[in-house]
Structure 1
Amino acid sequence: MSSELYDALTYLEKEKGIERNVLIDAIEAALVSAYKRNFNQAQNVRVDLNLEGGSIRVYARKEVVDEVFDSRLEIAITDAVLINPAYEIGDIVELEVTPKDFGRIAAQAAKQVVTQRVREAERGIIYSEFIDREEDIMTGIVQRQDARFIYVSLGKIEALLPQSEQMQNETYKPHDRIKVFITKVERTTKGPQIFVSRTHPGLLKRLFEIEVPEIFDGTVEIRSVSREAGDRSKISVHSENQEVDPVGACVGPKGNRVQAIVNELKGEKIDIVKWSDDPVVFVANALSPAKVIEVTFDEENKATTVIVPDYQLSLAIGKRGQNARLAAKLTGWKIDIKSETDAREAGIYPSSKGSVSVDQDDEFERASSETNLEDFFSEDIE
């Protein structure tokens, strides 16, 4: 071995982040394999690699025994004490068996194995890096696509964006920069495999953490998210600080914070509502932008009946039931919506038991009117 090997190990350790000991172990393992294969030897051997001296020595390791049954693995005690009188039965004797032309054969054989070990070490580093990024957001570049996946470059590796995790209102072209949510990192025989999503509710949550400093520092907390990717989403927010308006913080001055997220999600409408530990208030807020008159709740079955003005029924239910469906996912409560007229005819409104009249906050309306967000806080039509 020459100083070139030493320089190569130094380069790989510095540039690839692979520890020198890992590479030395790989080289020694390769040399043992090359010796056994090329010289038809089956004995237990050890390779001593001297980087500074540039030498390779092969030693056969034999156990000291009374009677030898396999000369490749054993040595008689009578022969061992001739080498060193201190040897006893059970000790291991090492005898140098380095072939004269071993250097050339070893270098050729070791190259492939070392390359493989380096590749495996790099894969391990990438896996360690990305396993800590599960449920996190990254910016990637679209590379190509086939019938099953879109391949997104995350720098050191390509992630897989399955069809089921793609937004229906998006078209992905090569070299497009997109933000993706890492859903799963797997270790496979071919290296780490990373799956990402554009539809996961976690993507919306992470985008708000990026755009809203109050969420990032913990002043405002996202309590729940419900999402129908590419169409509409709802998030509930809360702040323990009474001086902080959580909805206003998420909307931002002139709506610039939420608008940046809407742009990233290609026009997906986002309703931001105030969380409450009172299920009546929370359910009413979750049905925004619809106004709610009264909420009757059944805590045992975690179900609610919501009364809305007649002219607000379509808005409360939403197109194809979307607004009510998202509100139910957001709150975790079943929601049955009735118009004021239908409720009166059914004799359930006004109710004297198990119901609460709702005086909704005007934060949603205020945010909408002040920031001119009609485009993504638009009314649904049944």
Structure 2
Amino acid sequence: MNAEFMQAFEQLGKEKGIASEVLFDAIEAALISAYKRNFGLAQNVRVSLDRITGEIHVFARKNIAEVIEDERLEIQLSEAKKIDSNYEVGDVIEIEVTPKNFGRIAAQTAKQVVVQRIREAERGIIYEEFSNRESDILTGIVQRIEQKNVFIDLGKAEAILAPSEQIPFEQYKHGDRVKSYIIEVKKTTKGPQILVSRTHPGLLKRLFELEVPEIHDGIVEIKSVAREPGMRSKIAVYSRDEDIDPVGSCVGHKGMRVQTIVDELKGEKIDIVKWNADPVKYIANSLSPAKVLSVEVNEIEKVSKVIVPDYQLSLAIGKEGQNARLAAKLTGWKIDIKSESQAAQEMDEITSEV
């Protein structure tokens, strides 16, 4: 290998973010393997690669001994003293054994090592870039669908949207642009494996951060998210500025902000409720759009009893209990909902028993 060859390797390393010394050390290690494979499997050798000229020298390393058991690994003291009289038993001597045609093998090996190291470095860079973006949102293009797994092209890498992370009944086709949430980035021998989700509550949170400047700026905060993907979601929001309505900020003018997110989630209904440190008010808000008459809470057991007007009972519970279920997820409280007449009847029964 000549000087131009070495300069090209060094320049390529800089472009790909690989330290030149790391690259040259890897080439030397590969050349040792190449020498052993082609010229002497059992020999103990060292390869020296000149960083400037590209000259390669191979040295056989032998232990100096009085009695030789293996000529490939040992040399007699008398022979070693012919080279240098200062050698003693136990020292290691290096004898150059560079083959005449080793340059061609070396060049080919060096190219293979550089290509491999560049691939590894690029995979490492991509892994670092995406592992730092876990719990973030990204946009990609549907590349293909295999066994219900959707593969999304992210430009530098490819993400996998597994069936369990897909919104029920959502259809994907080649060329679709989709937003997804990074749930995990794994390091594999073939490069980083990026797992994404369309069902994770974090996706909803990130979409609001993108769409609502007040959330992005930290004025409005999303305190909690509860989601049944593709069907309905609830988010609880709080404003650090009393003059800014957190719910209104998220809804936007004529509902445009929230509608953009609903469209992205293919029609998923979103209830935006006001968070409150007082669990009574918070639980009442969480059952929106139903109106609540009263809330009783048991702080120790995190259980609440909610009374609503008779005509609001079905709305408070929701279809198949969805509204009540989401409210419980959102607040972290068990919620028992009764209508006004049910509560009165229970009270009458208790009174009659007494």
Please confirm whether the aligned pair reaches a TM-score higher than 0.5, indicating the same fold: yes
Give the aligned partner of residue 323 of structure 2: 323
Runs of 5+ in structure 1 lacking a partner?
352-382
Aligned-pair distance for 1:66?
4.8
Could you give the per-residue CA deviations for residues 304-340 of structure 1, whole angstroms, max 9, x where no partner exists? 1111111111111111111111100000001111111
Question: Aligned partner of 1:310: which letter?
Answer: D
Runs of 5+ in structure 2 lacking a partner?
none
Aligned-pair distance for 1:76?
4.1
User: Are 1:9 and 2:44 counterparts?
Assistant: no
Q: Which sits farther off after the overlay, 98-107 or 86-95?
A: 86-95
Question: Aligned partner of 2:343: which letter?
Answer: A
Give the aligned partner of residue 35 of structure 1: 35
Could you give the per-residue CA deviations for residues 214-237 of structure 1, whole angstroms, max 9, x where no partner exists? 222222211111011111111111
Question: Aligned to 1:347, what secondary structure does the other structure show?
Answer: helix
Give the aligned partner of residue 54 of structure 1: 54
Please say if residues 181 and 198 of structure 2, whose CA atoms lie closer than 8 Å, have aligned partners that are also in contact: yes
Give the aligned partner of residue 188 of structure 2: 188
Question: Aligned partner of 1:157: which letter?
Answer: A
Give the aligned partner of residue 292 of structure 2: 292
| CA distance in 2: counterparts of 1:210 and 1:86, whole angstroms | 75
Please say if residues 308 and 339 of structure 1, whose CA atoms lie closer than 8 Å, have aligned partners that are also in contact: yes
Give the aligned partner of residue 259 of structure 2: 259
Give the aligned partner of residue 108 of structure 1: 108
| CA distance in 2: counterparts of 1:115 and 1:149, whole angstroms | 31
| Percent identity for Structure 1 against Structure 2 | 64
Please say if residues 6 and 53 of structure 2, whose CA atoms lie closer than 8 Å, have aligned partners that are also in contact: no
Give the aligned partner of residue 361 of structure 1: none
**Number of aligned pairs?**
350
Please say if residues 34 and 110 of structure 1, whose CA atoms lie closer than 8 Å, have aligned partners that are also in contact: no
Matches within 5 A, 1:1-382: 1-3=1-3, 5-10=5-10, 12-347=12-347
Please say if residues 36 and 42 of structure 1, whose CA atoms lie closer than 8 Å, have aligned partners that are also in contact: yes
Aligned-pair distance for 1:272?
1.0
Question: Aligned to 1:262, what secondary structure does the other structure show?
Answer: helix
| CA distance in 1: counterparts of 2:34 and 2:173, whole angstroms | 48
Question: Aligned to 1:181, what secondary structure does the other structure show?
Answer: strand
Please say if residues 17 and 121 of structure 2, whose CA atoms lie closer than 8 Å, have aligned partners that are also in contact: no
| CA distance in 2: counterparts of 1:91 and 1:257, whole angstroms | 78
Q: Which sits farther off after the overlay, 52-61 or 133-142?
A: 52-61
Give the aligned partner of residue 367 of structure 1: none
| CA distance in 1: counterparts of 2:205 and 2:86, whole angstroms | 70
| CA distance in 1: counterparts of 2:235 and 2:213, whole angstroms | 16
TM-score of the superposed pair, with normalisation by structure 1: 0.85
Question: Aligned to 1:171, what secondary structure does the other structure show?
Answer: coil
Rate the CA distance shift 1:296–1:34 in 2: closer, same or farther, 3 A. same
Rate the CA distance shift 1:249–1:87 in 2: closer, same or farther, 3 A. farther
| CA distance in 1: counterparts of 2:13 and 2:152, whole angstroms | 28
Rate the CA distance shift 1:52–1:113 in 2: closer, same or farther, 3 A. closer
Aligned-pair distance for 1:186?
1.1
Could you give the per-residue CA deviations for residues 139-187 of structure 1, whole angstroms, max 9, x where no partner exists? 1111000114100011111111001111124211111111110111111
Q: Which sits farther off after the overlay, 180-189 or 115-124?
A: 115-124
TM-score of the superposed pair, with normalisation by structure 2: 0.91
Aligned-pair distance for 1:67?
4.2
RMSD: 2.3
Question: Aligned to 1:305, what secondary structure does the other structure show?
Answer: strand
Aligned-pair distance for 1:302?
1.0
Question: Aligned partner of 2:202: which letter?
Answer: G
